[in-house]
Amino acid sequence: MSRFFARLAGAAVALTLAAATPSFAQQLELKLMAPAAPGGGWDQTARSMQQALVASGVARSVQVTNVPGAGGSVGIAQFVNGAKGDGNQMMVNGFVMVGALAMNKSPVTLEQVTPIARLTEEIQVIVVPANSPIRNAQDLAAAVRADIAKVTFAGGSAGGVDHVMAALFAGAVGADAKKINYIPFSGGGESLAAILGGKVTAGISGLSEYEGQIKSGKLRAIGVTSEKRIPGSDIPTFREQGIDLVIANWRSVVAPPGITPEQKKTLSDAVEKMVKSDAWKEILKQKGWEDAYLGGDAFADFLKKETVRVTDVLKSVGLVKS
Amino acid sequence: MDTFAALAHGMAVAIQPVNLLYALIGVFLGTAVGVLPGIGPALTVALLLPVIYKLDPGGSLIMFAGIYYGGMYGGSTTAILINTPGESASMATALEGNKMAKAGRGGPALATSAIGSFVAGTIATIGLAFLAPWLVDFAVRFGPEDYFALMCVAFVTVSATFGDSPIRGLTSLFIGLTLGLVGIDKLTGQARLAFGVPELLDGVEVTTLAVGLFAVGEALYVASRRHHSEEKLEPVRGSLWMTKEDWKRSWKPWLRGTMFGFPIGALPAGGAEIPTFLSYSTEKRLTKYPEEFGKGAIEGVAGPEAANNASAAGTLVPLLTLGLPTSATAAMMLAGFQQYGLNPGPLLFAERPDLVWGLIASLFIANVMLLVLNLPLVGLWVRLLAIPQPWLYAGILVFATMGTIAAKPSVVELSMLAGFGVLGFLMRRFDFPIAPVVVGLILGPIAESQLRRALAISLGDPMTLLQSPISATLLGIALIALLAPFVLKGLGRFKANED
């Protein structure tokens, strides 16, 4: 109900402002879509952007809408068709959407949207229960090479970043990624229970999600996926342990297709300003997100490369039929 | 000792006048939004979270607890009065509660639900304070095979509530199981029965199905019967309050419901639905008034409502001790904690006892406030039923539609609501029970994915189901529950005639 009224109010404000002459950024009236239900990562990213954009004075108002469904497939379809050419709309997305679109054979692809910027990333980790005989990444690699079917990985939904990472790990240590025994759980909660209970060999998730358990000694982290060691952390990266596995759960923001270069510049500038604001930095600290800002063509390039890499992995594990 | 001191300190903070006011506002807001069908406590909290952000930590936690409990109670209110469960967990409440309301006993139904929620919430919160560390060790030991066994127990016991004809009950159940297959298969990521409609990839929303079958179906049915025989609704018959008899019949179900709700809620994949179903079928078996079941038995409201609330407190066990958000609501609570820059986890009790105990104390306060706000309102709520039928049902349709749209703004979702409404109408018309459809939709997918997970972990060896002691015990219980009625029937065939 309250959201309904908020929308009404938002619409009223928008109407009043449309009558006034728009000068610049101060007058930006943005609509931001989170293609997921309230509460998840994309929704939190959208709402954090809303907070930072308004607090830093980049935009006058930002309205967040949620369009949940199928890893963002429903949202992006609505976004591409409904917001075409609208320079006041943006959508949050991320790693998971790449896989979801491929798996759901979505008629709409990420090639159709206008990339704006990558915002954040979360480093991934592989953990084992504290009493596991596996001490480091090489132990796990040896187990995977010995009999890949017996090594069970617990993680998030099929085709998500955890699943892709399990396949990449197997490939990187010279095993057949096709044969990984990956057990998807809905949400970090359930998989964590399975790991703590010793039901599976190893667990994969975002580092922040398991940080408490790692600190308290219930889980042992055997490697993180960042390129370099996280400052102040005693968890080694996979690269340090001789395994080429670098991956991160990134989140980004995109604009609709068919906008003019001027509109794109306005949005890109607004996002860049927001990323540099204190309000945004405060939010990143609070939520434990890494700043991974990457704008302009560099981001467009990155998006293309990730799409190819993820689709290849999903094909190799049989989730996407080529 | 420490526990008491910490709790007392939390209480002292919570009963400051300003905080009491926050609690009252929270409960009021929560109830107001929660009465929208399809909007359960999790969504209520999600919608109102921006409001809470503006307050100081203490006040915001208290308001949070108020909104949460208010939303939960709001869901039960609509379940009882207009047969429209706000969430899947109050579905069992609708079964008997609405029959009671139609028989003019809406007052006692609302009262037993509110007081039962209070009793269960209080006991479960005490359980949370004292048993959490021990309980969580047990909960973590539950593996996929054990969950599958628990589902078997639920299926067997719940099938007892399928009404008079097992064939019709099973037909309904299989409709639900089929609906449960719709969407992306959790284990392989492949779409099933989605027919290329992207909105179907996430499966059928339980609340959409429940609201469609219960509320829309009922509205259509009433409309179709209007010229045949008008169902007489008596807004109030007898006392608005619970009689001595009502109390006598309610207190045991409250306690039993708590016993189901709290431990199952504490399981990482336990949820609130299973304990409410288990409680409902237990009460149906144990009652001294079996003839009243299906016509408005107060036990059938008291038990599930208590189970619902106790399981909500149960979900806090893994949340606070492990940082596991095991339900949508718990995930929202996590969001609430995160605004203070901390992640619940094994260290939370040690690092921030003030916040943990503050939350627990707030839950107590919110519980009390809920009683204070809602018991006087029972009389007002019940008046709803005095609204002329065409208006009432038109209103129900509007609210059902609005609730669905607010939860998931999509044409497909609305079409599904309408489709399930027609299905509900036809099932009523031809005397098929409705509840098993929802039961199938909820339990089917869980049972399937847990079984397949168990088999994937054991590399395809089905013996894993018997090797785990928890699983073996639960399967044994399921087997006994399945066979016992036939054995007993054989022993005392003459008794069967009495039914």
Q: Within this chain, do residues A256 and A290 fall inside the same structural domain, yes or no?
A: yes
Amino acid at B335: A
Q: How far apart are CA B132 and CA B349, in angstroms?
A: 11
* Least-confidence region, from A75-89, A177-191, B28-42, B118-132: B28-42
HSE (side-chain half, CA atoms, 13 Å) at B279: 42
Residue B61 has pLDDT above 80, yes or no: no
Q: Is B436 on the interface with A (CB under 8 A)?
A: no
Is A271 within the bounds of a domain? Answer: yes
Residue B160 has pLDDT above 80, yes or no: no
For A4, the closest chain B residue by CA position comes to B406
Q: Within this chain, do residues A181 and A220 fall inside the same structural domain, yes or no?
A: yes
Mean pLDDT across B432-440 = 83
**SS3 label, residue A32:** strand
Is A54 within the bounds of a domain? Answer: yes
Residue B39's Cα: distance from chain center in Å? 12
Q: Is B322 on the interface with A (CB under 8 A)?
A: yes
Q: What is the pLDDT of residue B498?
A: 45
**SS3 label, residue A152:** strand
**Where in chain B are the domains?**
2-146+237-388+446-496
From the CA of B324, how many Å to the nearest CA of chain A? 4
Is A239 within the bounds of a domain? Answer: no
Domain that holds residue A220: 122-224
Is A265 within the bounds of a domain? Answer: yes
For residue B73, give Cα distances in angstroms to B60, B85, B100: 20, 11, 17
Q: What is the pLDDT of residue B239?
A: 67
pLDDT in tens, A49-68: 888 888 888 888 888 887 77
Helix H or strand E encompassing A222: strand A219-224
Q: Characterize the bridge pairing of strands A114-129 and A89-94.
A: unpaired
Cβ atoms within 10 Å of B398's Cβ, excluding its own: 10
Helix H or strand E encompassing A168: helix A161-172
Which of chain B's residues have a Cβ under 8 Å away from the Cβ of A2? 33, 47-48, 51
Q: Which residues of chain B from 46 to 65 reach within 8 Å of chain A, CB to CB?
A: 46-48, 51
Nearest to A287 among B331, B338, B348 (CB): B338
Cβ atoms within 10 Å of A5's Cβ, excluding its own: 9
Asked which of A208, A224, A240 is the last residue of a domain, the reply is: A224
- Lookup: tokens for A312: 């290849």
Q: How far apart are CA A223 and CA A125, in angstroms?
A: 6
Is A183 within the bounds of a domain? Answer: yes
Mean pLDDT across A4-27 = 44
Q: Is B32 on the interface with A (CB under 8 A)?
A: yes
Residue A216 has pLDDT above 60, yes or no: yes
Q: Looking at residue A178, what DSSP letter applies?
A: G
Q: Within this chain, do residues A29 and A102 fall inside the same structural domain, yes or no?
A: yes
Q: How far apart are the first and last CA of chain A?
A: 45
Residue B419 has pLDDT above 50, yes or no: yes
Q: Within this chain, do residues A58 and A126 fall inside the same structural domain, yes or no?
A: no
Residue B336 has pLDDT above 70, yes or no: no
Q: Which residues of chain B from 66 to 105 reach within 8 Å of chain A, CB to CB?
A: none
pLDDT in tens, A245-301: 999 888 999 988 888 888 888 888 888 888 888 888 888 877 778 888 888 888 889
Q: Is B236 on the interface with A (CB under 8 A)?
A: no
To the nearest 10°, report the CA torsion of A305, A311, A315, A320: -170
Q: How far apart are CA A36 and CA A14, in angstroms?
A: 24
For B322, the closest chain A residue by CA position comes to A213
Q: Is B470 on the interface with A (CB under 8 A)?
A: no
Is A137 within the bounds of a domain? Answer: yes
Q: Within this chain, do residues A188 and A110 fall inside the same structural domain, yes or no?
A: no
User: Using CA of residue A155, residue A160, residue A166, residue A169, what is the dihedral sign?
Assistant: negative
Q: Characterize the bridge pairing of strands A61-66 and A219-224.
A: unpaired
CB contact at 8 A, B194 and B454: no
From the CA of B410, how many Å to the nearest CA of chain A? 8
Q: Within this chain, do residues A149 and A209 fall inside the same structural domain, yes or no?
A: yes
Is A234 within the bounds of a domain? Answer: no
Mean pLDDT across B34-45 = 66
Q: Is A194 on the interface with B (CB under 8 A)?
A: yes
Q: How far apart are CA B44 and CA B422, in angstroms?
A: 28
Q: Looking at residue B313, what DSSP letter applies?
A: H
* Least-confidence region, from B4-13, B374-383, B487-496: B487-496
Mark yes or no for CB contact A3/B47 under 8 Å.
yes
Mean pLDDT across B331-346 = 63
CATH number of the domain at A280, please. 3.40.190.150
Which of chain A's residues have a Cβ under 8 Å away from the Cβ of B344? 212
Q: Is A193 on the interface with B (CB under 8 A)?
A: yes
For residue B179, give Cα distances in angstroms to A37, B203, B416, B440: 21, 8, 11, 8
* Least-confidence region, from A129-133, A267-271, B156-160, B377-381: B156-160
Q: Within this chain, do residues A12 and A89 fall inside the same structural domain, yes or no?
A: yes
For B319, the closest chain A residue by CA position comes to A189
Q: Within this chain, do residues A94 and A104 fall inside the same structural domain, yes or no?
A: yes
- Lookup: tokens for A105: 């054979």
Which of chain B's residues have a Cβ under 8 Å away from the Cβ of A215? 345, 347
Q: Which residues lie below 8 Å from residue A287, measured CB to CB, with a gap of 6+?
A: A44, A48, B338
pLDDT in tens, A128-142: 999 999 999 999 999
Q: How far apart are CA B417 and CA B396, in angstroms?
A: 13
Residue B233 has pLDDT above 50, yes or no: yes
From the CA of A74, how many Å to the nearest CA of chain B? 6
Q: How far apart are CA B70 and CA B370, in angstroms?
A: 7
- Lookup: tokens for B46: 């999600």
